Structure 1
Amino acid sequence: MAVTVETLEKLERKITLTLPVGIIQNEVESRLRKLARTVKMDGFRPGKVPMNVVSQRYGYSVHYEVMNDKVGEAFATAANEAKLRVAGQPRITESEASPEGQMAFDAVFEVFPEVKIADLSTAEVEKISTEVTDAAVDKTVEILRKQRRTFAQRPHDAAAQDTDRVTVDFEGKIDGEPFAGGKATDFQFILGDGQMLKEFEEATRGMKSGESKTFPLAFPEDYHGKDVAGKTADFLVTVKKIEAAHLPEVDGALAKALGIADATVEGLRADITKNLQREVKYRLLNRNKQAVMDALIAKAELDLPKSSVQAELDRMVEGARADLKQRGIKDADKAPIPDDIFRPQAERRVRLGLVVAELVRANDLAAKPEQIKAHIDELAASYEKPADVVRWYYGDNRRMAEVEAIVIENNVTEFVLSKAKVTEKSVSFDDLMAQN
C-alpha cells in the first residue's frame, strides 16, 4: 500500500490510500459465501439459497461494509506507520484518479498538536488556606438548630418579627393588572431569612394577625421572572398567622437526634469540626487546582484541533439538552441550542486537557494504583459502611476512570506548585464557603 502524507494547514493532514480491487472483491465474496450458509429466504431451505440470489439481495450492503472495514484498517495502518497521533475521525472520500486495478481514497484529518510549556518557575500562583475556627463550628451548630426548630402560634396582638414564621395571602398587580406568580394563599415564610424580597419583608415586619397592607415592590433588573424584572408592582398582603420559632437546646439530646455516636456537646462539636475540615480541604484543593490550571494554560503554546473542540461542543450541547429534559422542558431533545455559547468553555477544556496530558507524559505524573486506592479510601471514610463504598467504586470502570482523572489533576497541581512562584494567602472560613 502506497502512503502519501500531506500537510494542508496547521494540524490538518491528508493521506492518500490505495487498495487493490482484488482484495475488496475477494473479501466481499468470502462474506457472501459465509452469509449464504445461514441466510433465510422465502422459497429456500436454510443454507440452500443460490449465491446469485444472495449476491443480488445482500451484495451492496456487504460491499459497503467491506469498504468501510478495509479503508479503516488501511488508514489505521498508514497513520501508525507515519507515527501520526490522529485527533478525531478522518473524512474519507474516494479519489477521482485511481491507478489501474486499485481503488484510491483521500483521508483528511487532524493530528494532535505539539504542546510547548514554558518554564514553570516563572509561573505565578496564589495558593489560599483557611482554618476551621470555633466561630465556624458555632455557626454550623446554629444552622443545625434552625433546621430542627419548631413553631408555636403567637398571641393575636403580637407583631411579626425576625425568625417568626408568617402565613400570608398576597396579590401583586402591575399597572392595575395581575401577573403570573403574583398571587398566593396561605403562603408561609420565615421573616428575616431572605426568602422574600427586601421590600416584602419590610412591609410584613411589625404587622399583626388579621392586618392587611398595600405597598410598592420594585423587582430587580436581574430578577429571575423576566416578565416582571425591572418593574414595580403594588402588593396587597394580609397576615393570617404568626408563629414564634423555638430552637432546640445545644445538649446531648440534639447530638443524639443528629446521629452523633458520642451523644454529647463535645462529641457534636468534634463531629462538626471533622466534617467542616473535610469540606474545607475539598474547597481549598479545588480553588488552588483552578489557580494552577489557569497558570498552566498561560504558560502553554499549542494549536487546538477543530475536531476535538467540536466533539466537546457536541457533548456540552447534549448535556444542556439532558438538563432541560430533567427539568421537564417539553421537546428538550429538539431544543435549538447554538453551540457558540459553549465555545470558550469547550476550547478551554480541550486546551487544558492537551496541556495536562503533555505535562503528565513528560514528568511521569500518571495516577498510581496506591494513589487511587488512597483517594477512594478517603472518599469512603465519611460513609457509615466504607467497605461498601470502596466496592462500589472498584465495581465500575467509569467511576474508576473519574477517580483516576482526579488523582492525575492532583498530581499536576502538586507538581506545578513545586515549580511555580507561590504566594500564600489566608482567607476566612466564610469567604471560602461563599465561593462557588
Structure 2
Amino acid sequence: MAVNVETLEKLERKITLSLPMAAIQTEVESRLKKLARTVKMDGFRPGKVPMNVVTQRYGYSVHYEVLNDKVGEAFASAANEAKLRVAGQPRITEKEGAPEGEVAFDAVFEVYPEVKIGDLSTAEVEKLTAEVDEAAIDKTVEILRKQRRTFAQRAVDAPAQDGDRVTVDFEGKIDGEPFAGGKADGFQFLVGEGQMLKEFEDAVRGMKAGESKTFPLAFPADYHGKDVAGKTADFMVTLNKIEAAHLPEVNEALAKSLGIAEGTVEALRADIKKNLEREVKSRLLGRNKQAVMDALVAKAELDLPKSVVQAEVDRLIEGARADLKQRGIKDADKAPIPAEIFQPQAEQRVRLGLVVAELVRANNLHATPESLKAHVEELAASYEKPEDVVRWYFGDNRRLAEVEAVVIENNVTNFVLSKAKVSEKAISFDELMGQA
C-alpha cells in the first residue's frame, strides 16, 4: 500500500498512521493474560489473580504500552515503505475523525537532507608545511636541560636575575585591608618565567637577599581571583634567599640520563628530531584537515535537520556539565547552561558530518581493513612495545571505531586536496607549535 507523505516545510514531513482497534485489543488481552500468570497481589496466590482484577490494575498501562509499540512499528514500516531516511524521533499525536474500528495518528518528523557538493576543483585550500630545523632541536635541548637544572645559593650581595629561584615573604593589602591569598612566607618562584604577575617579578628582579620593598600591583580585570580582579594592591615583599640555576652540560651523561642507548649527543639530537617530526606531522595534518573541511563545507548546499542539531546541542551541554563536574564545581549537573551558546558549534558539526558522510558515500572513501591496520601500526610505532598497542586497539570495537573515523577523515582530506586548487605556505616551526 502506498504511503502518503506530506511535506510541511524543508525537511519536515507528516504521515498519517491508521491502526485497527481489534488488533490492539487482541494484543492487550494477550499481554494481560501473560501478566496474570506471574503478577503478585495481596489476598491472592501467584497466578490466581482474577482477570478482571488484573485488567483493573494494569489495563491502562498495558494498553498505553501496546499502543506505543504498534504506532512505532507502523511508523517504521511506513517510513521504510516510502524509502525515507528519518532524522531524530517523530512527534506523534492522535488524530480525530478516524473510521469506525480504527485509531489514527499523525507522525510529524524530519528527514535527512539531500547534500549537494559543488565543483571541488574550484575550491581553494592553503596547505601548510613546516620543517624541524636545528634551532628547534636546540630549543628542545634547552627545555630538557631546564627540566634537570639544580640550584645553589648565591652570594649575599648578588641581585636576583632571570632564571634564579627566589624565596620570599610577602603581604598585600587593598585599601589597607588584607585579602585572601595575599600573604605568604617562604614562597618560592623562578624569576622571569611568568609564574608571578609581571609587576611582582619586576619588583623582585634586582633585589638582594635580606632586602624588603613595597610596590603597587594592579590585578588584571580577568584575573582568576574575582575578589581582587581589576583592583590595585600595595605589596610588601622581603627577599630571603636567591639560588642560581645550574643547567647540566650537553654531553654523554645528559644523553644517557634521557634514555639514549648510544649515549652520544648526536644520537640525542637525532632522537629529538624524530619526535619533533612526528609532532610536526600530526599538527600539520590537523591544521590542513581543518582547512580542507572548511573548504568542503563552503562548497556544499543542504538544509539542517533541527532534531539532529538539537541532539548535538544537548550532547555539548552534557559535555560541558561533565567538564564542570571534573573541575569540582558543586551541583554541576544543575548548572544553568544556555543552549544558544552551543547552537553555532552544533550546527557546524552537524553540517560537516552530513557533508563528509555524503562525500564518503559518493566516492567510496570508507576505511578498509588494510588502512585501519596501517594507521594503528603508525600510532603504535612511538611506543616501546608497538605490538602491545596494536593489540590494545584491536581488542576494543570502540577504540577501533575512533581510529576508523580518523582514517575516513584522512581519506576525505586527501580526496579534496587531490581535486582542489592547493597553494602551499611554509610556516616556521615556532609558528606551528604556537610559540611565535
**Both proteins in one fold, TM over 0.5:** yes
Deviation at 1:392, TM superposition (A): 1.9
User: Equivalences for 1:183-222 in 2 at 5 Å?
Assistant: 183-222=183-222
Q: Which residue of the partner structure matches residue 332 of structure 2?
A: 332
Instruction: Give a deviation string over 1:91-127, Cα, whole Å, max 9, x none.
Output: 1111122211111111111111111111111111100
Corresponding residue SS for 1:44: coil
Answering whether residue 404 of structure 2 is matched by residue 404 of structure 1, we say: yes
Answering whether residue 271 of structure 2 is matched by residue 271 of structure 1, we say: yes
Deviation at 1:255, TM superposition (A): 2.4
Q: Which residue of the partner structure matches residue 373 of structure 1?
A: 373
Q: Is contact 2:216–2:234 with CA below 8 Å preserved after alignment?
A: yes
User: Equivalences for 1:164-175 in 2 at 5 Å?
Assistant: 164-175=164-175
Distance 1:48 1:235, change over 3 A: same
Unaligned runs of 5+ in 2: none
Q: CA RMSD in A?
A: 1.7
Q: Which residue of the partner structure matches residue 243 of structure 1?
A: 243
Aligned equivalents of 1:248 and 1:215: distance in 2? 36
Indicate the larger mover: 390-399 or 17-26: 390-399
Instruction: Give a deviation string over 1:36-71, Cα, whole Å, max 9, x none.
Output: 223333333333333222222222222222111111
Q: Which residue of the partner structure matches residue 317 of structure 2?
A: 317
Aligned equivalents of 2:343 and 2:171: distance in 1? 43
Aligned equivalents of 1:177 and 1:226: distance in 2? 16
Deviation at 1:435, TM superposition (A): 7.3
Q: Is contact 2:85–2:112 with CA below 8 Å preserved after alignment?
A: yes
Deviation at 1:2, TM superposition (A): 7.2
Q: Is contact 1:3–1:17 with CA below 8 Å preserved after alignment?
A: no
Q: Which residue of the partner structure matches residue 390 of structure 1?
A: 390
User: Equivalences for 1:99-138 in 2 at 5 Å?
Assistant: 99-138=99-138
User: Equivalences for 1:270-289 in 2 at 5 Å?
Assistant: 270-289=270-289
Instruction: Give a deviation string over 1:333-354, Cα, whole Å, max 9, x none.
Output: 1000001111111111011111
Distance 1:15 1:262, change over 3 A: farther
Distance 1:262 1:38, change over 3 A: farther
Instruction: Give a deviation string over 1:117-170, Cα, whole Å, max 9, x none.
Output: 111111111000111111111111111111111112222222111111111122
Indicate the larger mover: 25-34 or 355-364: 25-34
Aligned equivalents of 1:160 and 1:119: distance in 2? 63
Aligned equivalents of 1:272 and 1:383: distance in 2? 15
Aligned equivalents of 2:52 and 2:184: distance in 1? 76
Q: Which amino acid aligns with 2:366?
A: A
Q: Which amino acid aligns with 2:206?
A: G
Aligned equivalents of 1:243 and 1:406: distance in 2? 49
Answering whether residue 75 of structure 2 is matched by residue 64 of structure 1, we say: no
Q: Which amino acid aligns with 1:228?
A: V
Identity %: 83
Q: Which amino acid aligns with 1:348?
A: Q
Aligned equivalents of 1:302 and 1:423: distance in 2? 28
Q: Is contact 2:151–2:244 with CA below 8 Å preserved after alignment?
A: yes
Aligned equivalents of 1:113 and 1:388: distance in 2? 43
Indicate the larger mover: 301-310 or 154-163: 154-163
Corresponding residue SS for 1:92: strand
Q: Which of structure 1's runs of 4+ aligned residues deviate more than 6 A? A: none
Aligned equivalents of 1:91 and 1:356: distance in 2? 28
Deviation at 1:297, TM superposition (A): 1.2
Corresponding residue SS for 2:433: helix
Aligned equivalents of 1:212 and 1:199: distance in 2? 15
Q: Which amino acid aligns with 2:8?
A: L
Aligned equivalents of 2:63 and 2:388: distance in 1? 51
Instruction: Give a deviation string over 1:162-216, Cα, whole Å, max 9, x none.
Output: 1111111222233333333333222211111122222211111111112111112
Q: Is contact 1:6–1:14 with CA below 8 Å preserved after alignment?
A: yes
Corresponding residue SS for 1:83: coil
Indicate the larger mover: 394-403 or 177-186: 177-186
Q: Is contact 2:3–2:78 with CA below 8 Å preserved after alignment?
A: yes
Corresponding residue SS for 1:434: coil
Q: Which residue of the partner structure matches residue 20 of structure 1?
A: 20
Q: Is contact 2:3–2:81 with CA below 8 Å preserved after alignment?
A: no
Aligned equivalents of 1:140 and 1:335: distance in 2? 42
Aligned equivalents of 2:53 and 2:263: distance in 1? 82
Aligned equivalents of 1:186 and 1:389: distance in 2? 46
Aligned equivalents of 1:399 and 1:130: distance in 2? 30
TM-score w.r.t. structure 1 length? 0.96
Q: Which residue of the partner structure matches residue 304 of structure 1?
A: 304
Deviation at 1:225, TM superposition (A): 3.5
Q: Is contact 1:2–1:18 with CA below 8 Å preserved after alignment?
A: no
TM-score w.r.t. structure 2 length? 0.96
Aligned equivalents of 1:433 and 1:385: distance in 2? 28
Corresponding residue SS for 2:424: strand
Task: State the aligned residue count.
Answer: 436
Unaligned runs of 5+ in 1: none
